[in-house]
Structure 1
Amino acid sequence: MLLKYRLLHLLLGSVFLSSASQANELPIEISGFGKVVGGYLDDPDLAYQGYEDELSFDRQSLAAIQIDWQVMPKLSLTTQLLAHSNKNRESGVEWLYLTYEVDDQWQIRLGKQRTPFFRYSDVLNVGFAYHWVTPPQQLYNGVLFPTYDGLNVKYRFGTQDVQASLEGYWGEFNDEYNIANLTIQPDIKNFHGLIGNVRWQNLSAQLGFHSGDIDLVLEDLNGLADILQQAGYQASADSLSTNGNVEVLFAGIAYHDIDYFVEAEVIKLIGEPIVFPTSSSAYVSAGLYLPPFTIHTTLATSHASYPPRVNEIPLGLAPQVDQLAFAYNQVYASLAKDSLDSIGIGARYDLSAHFAFKADIIRLRGKQGQRSFFDNPDNSNRPAATLYQFSLEWVF
């Protein structure tokens, strides 16, 4: 199945390139966006999202170009090329898909697309589209699979006062990304979801369910599980499984008036593979529109946990068994937990219809003994710091 989508990418790319010479004759639209983001963390012993106690511009700055080609009246091709300043984030083709508008109600997309987990998933890289410098890390943290190769079907319906849609997708994901201090490349099959949206005047709401079957290869972890199984500790071996199902439940609500806004999102992640913690995250954000300024504040929280370890390996029976128990316990001790509370204030100044300047101050308080999204916390202390960020963002 993955090969089929790789071939689709090549086919779409070939079709686009073969038509580039006819650009003057074809309805092609070129747009783009970008941002230069600076950040500083006020604690010399911590790092957060790569920021430390010196001003840095290379963590979240980016630039992108999007090309939309109306191949036929109902068929279009979209590709987005993204360049990151952060060397740990992959640059290249972010989107590449075909869209077929069946009629005013039905839409079908096929190809590499953004996974619609959250309210701002589609525009996560387009900082100009929201009020923060960076959306709340507790939800928008990159743990979930950012894109997928597959099919998306949307049905739009409603009345003059109420507009609604149902969106379903199915596909797969196989690419490297970081989770819990690990670089993994999961093979995700049967990746699917259903999202409902409704809008009534200034009020909008969203509900979503997502699920996928994951197969991971982590040599050290898989090797330890094999040893435990051979030693007869089957329950301990099963608890280290890197295969299983991941489910995501999501709800969001927003009210945007001409003078102010309030919005909130909440998510529940339930994972069977050991590297995926069970977590709950939420935020509420409110602000005032004072053109050309927007001022806002945000409260966010997250709580992460793992299933309790299995206590079936006896201690003191033999040195080899003690070593096995120690290795098993070390795995659980190394699992990163990201429980974090934060409060932030910020302001946005729209210089024009295409440029905006933003500045945020966020106070971060983690939980003692947990990573709490910090890169290098001392487990003997509760990680806490203040993040200062500012950005210049644009669209064209």
Structure 2
Amino acid sequence: MTNFKLLIALTAAAAMVLSSQAAGETDKLELSGFARVVGGFVDTDKATYEGYDDNVSFSEKSLIAVQADYNFSSTLSASVQLLLHTDEDRESGVEWLYLTYTPTEEIQFNVGRLRTPFLKYSDVIDVGFAYPWVNAPQQLYSSYMFSQYEGANARYRANIGDFIVDFEAYYGRYEDSLVSSGIDVEVELDQLFGGVIEVNYGGLQLRTATINGPKVETTIDEIAPFLQGLRAAGFEQLAEKFEINDSARAFLLGASYDTLNWYMSGEWMKVSSDIDVLANLESFYISYGYYYDSVLFHLTYASSNQSLNTIENTIPPGISPELDELRFGVDILNSFFPTDDLDTWTLGARWDVKTNVALKAEVSLLDGKQGKTSFFDIQDETFDRNAMLYQLALEWVF
């Protein structure tokens, strides 16, 4: 039984238990949820961005989720979240399923399927109501590694004078199917670990986090036959360089300050890897927002710079048609891996219509780099990697 089927079975079992007990113990069961309807388009027919093309679409970011929390006691609880997503590149189903043990107010342990607590909004990235933008800056939030894991974490909160300091450590494994340039990529890590330190003082928050994958293994069915052909022709070392089977890690620094009249926030992330074909990535954003009654106006600049390791093509040309074909294949494979250099300016507004409902509107200037993918799926190579993205969203928590 796969992990996903096991989680579904556990969820069904938990639902049966909860439904049988809920009638007499409703104080132990808490149900909540969230939903978002997001529409948008880009002003070009030469490329798509995050699934958007030049036609208005509501199927890229819209979703609905329901969460059940059951309190077995004052210290032990269980949580499950079911999510239905309209994006065809993302699976719907059990988003997380875990047990929580809280022996004291300062200490908490979780075990199960959990969100990886790396970026500031990693835990709530699907809950659009929790942050100001329609989309959190893509340079960080669409590319950060290993968004969830199966394992355990431990949290400790210390009050030091007027400072509140949170420490978190986590360990587990990761397995998922991703889509890159329209190609399915199976990713697996037997070990995934990291930590978070967050300091709060009044309206000031400082945050640092790490994530480490000592051995990242991937399976890409579309290129496996080509790599076998390289080995059969005697180019074993060249084939090995295109295999993704080594370590990757990321480091984050973040800061924010909120006066309740205005705020500033930012995050900086660096991803590095020992895998030959993967790039090192540096990305950041800085955002300013101003509150006017129930409306928040915000401006965000985000940037990413990705350095890709191009594998030297050691197949000599002109020896035979078969080797020329392999040489051409190496050049094609070198161009397969994305290089997501992109600068973005986003101007937006958020109106809190009610305490649990918000309307958002955004326009983003996407300034990519010629010769790079810049987060676009390019349909026409004459595309200059510049476009405008327009989005509207309705956010709801219940």
User: Scaled by the length of structure 2, what TM-score is found?
Assistant: 0.93
Tell me how far 1:70 sits from its aligned partner.
Answer: 0.7
Gaps of 5+ in 1: none
The match for 1:233 among 232, 235, 257 is 235
Distance 1:86 1:8 in 2: 21
More displaced stretch, 360-369 vs 174-183: 174-183
Q: Quick one: structure 1 residues 143 and 275, their matched pair in 2 at CA, closer, same or farther if it must change by over 3 Å?
A: farther
> CA-to-partner distance for each residue in 1:278-302, whole Å, 9 max, x for gaps?
2111110001011211000000011
More displaced stretch, 43-52 vs 163-172: 43-52
More displaced stretch, 379-388 vs 131-140: 379-388
Kindly indicate whether the alpha-carbon contact (under 8 Å) linking 1:180 and 1:275 is maintained by their aligned counterparts in 2.
no
Q: Would you say how many aligned residue pairs link Structure 1 and Structure 2?
A: 395
Alignment-derived partner of residue 323 in structure 2: 321
Alignment-derived partner of residue 21 in structure 1: 20
- RMSD over equivalenced CA pairs, Å: 2.1
Distance 2:397 2:71 in 1: 21
Q: Quick one: structure 1 residues 392 and 15, their matched pair in 2 at CA, closer, same or farther if it must change by over 3 Å?
A: closer
> CA-to-partner distance for each residue in 1:140-170, whole Å, 9 max, x for gaps?
1155222111111112113131111211111
| Secondary structure, counterpart of 1:18 in structure 2 | helix
Alignment-derived partner of residue 257 in structure 1: 259
Tell me how far 1:313 sits from its aligned partner.
Answer: 2.3
> CA-to-partner distance for each residue in 1:111-139, whole Å, 9 max, x for gaps?
11111121001111111111111111111
Kindly indicate whether the alpha-carbon contact (under 8 Å) linking 1:9 and 1:111 is maintained by their aligned counterparts in 2.
no
| Equivalences for residues 121-270 of structure 1 within 5 A | 121-142=122-143, 144-212=145-213, 213-270=215-272
| 2:338 is the alignment partner of 1:360 | no
Tell me how far 1:392 sits from its aligned partner.
Answer: 1.1
Q: Quick one: structure 1 residues 183 and 331, their matched pair in 2 at CA, closer, same or farther if it must change by over 3 Å?
A: same
Tell me how far 1:255 sits from its aligned partner.
Answer: 0.7
Distance 1:23 1:242 in 2: 48
Q: Which amino acid aligns with 2:307?
A: S
Tell me how far 1:234 sits from its aligned partner.
Answer: 4.0
Q: Quick one: structure 1 residues 9 and 92, their matched pair in 2 at CA, closer, same or farther if it must change by over 3 Å?
A: closer
> CA-to-partner distance for each residue in 1:87-128, whole Å, 9 max, x for gaps?
332111111100000212221100111111210011111111
> CA-to-partner distance for each residue in 1:317-376, whole Å, 9 max, x for gaps?
333332222211110022221111110101111111011111001000111112211122
Gaps of 5+ in 2: none
More displaced stretch, 267-276 vs 212-221: 267-276
| Secondary structure, counterpart of 1:245 in structure 2 | strand
> How high is the sequence identity, in percent, across the aligned residues?
35
User: Scaled by the length of structure 1, what TM-score is found?
Assistant: 0.93
Alignment-derived partner of residue 52 in structure 1: 53
The match for 1:283 among 282, 285, 308 is 285
Alignment-derived partner of residue 312 in structure 2: 310
Tell me how far 1:259 sits from its aligned partner.
Answer: 0.8
Q: Quick one: structure 1 residues 243 and 292, their matched pair in 2 at CA, closer, same or farther if it must change by over 3 Å?
A: same
Tell me how far 1:303 sits from its aligned partner.
Answer: 1.4
Alignment-derived partner of residue 103 in structure 1: 104
Tell me how far 1:240 sits from its aligned partner.
Answer: 0.7
| Secondary structure, counterpart of 1:117 in structure 2 | coil
| Secondary structure, counterpart of 2:223 in structure 1 | helix
Distance 1:7 1:55 in 2: 38
Kindly indicate whether the alpha-carbon contact (under 8 Å) linking 2:153 and 2:168 is maintained by their aligned counterparts in 1.
yes
| 2:377 is the alignment partner of 1:375 | yes
More displaced stretch, 61-70 vs 272-281: 272-281
Q: Quick one: structure 1 residues 273 and 219, their matched pair in 2 at CA, closer, same or farther if it must change by over 3 Å?
A: farther
Q: Which amino acid aligns with 1:373?
A: F
Q: Quick one: structure 1 residues 92 and 8, their matched pair in 2 at CA, closer, same or farther if it must change by over 3 Å?
A: closer
Kindly indicate whether the alpha-carbon contact (under 8 Å) linking 1:143 and 1:179 is maintained by their aligned counterparts in 2.
no
Distance 2:22 2:143 in 1: 36
Kindly indicate whether the alpha-carbon contact (under 8 Å) linking 2:186 and 2:220 is maintained by their aligned counterparts in 1.
no
Alignment-derived partner of residue 63 in structure 1: 64
Kindly indicate whether the alpha-carbon contact (under 8 Å) linking 1:343 and 1:363 is maintained by their aligned counterparts in 2.
yes
| 2:349 is the alignment partner of 1:347 | yes
Q: Quick one: structure 1 residues 224 and 271, their matched pair in 2 at CA, closer, same or farther if it must change by over 3 Å?
A: farther
| Equivalences for residues 108-123 of structure 1 within 5 A | 108-123=109-124
Kindly indicate whether the alpha-carbon contact (under 8 Å) linking 1:9 and 1:96 is maintained by their aligned counterparts in 2.
no
Q: Which amino acid aligns with 1:291?
A: D
| Secondary structure, counterpart of 1:138 in structure 2 | helix
Distance 1:294 1:52 in 2: 28
Kindly indicate whether the alpha-carbon contact (under 8 Å) linking 1:368 and 1:380 is maintained by their aligned counterparts in 2.
no
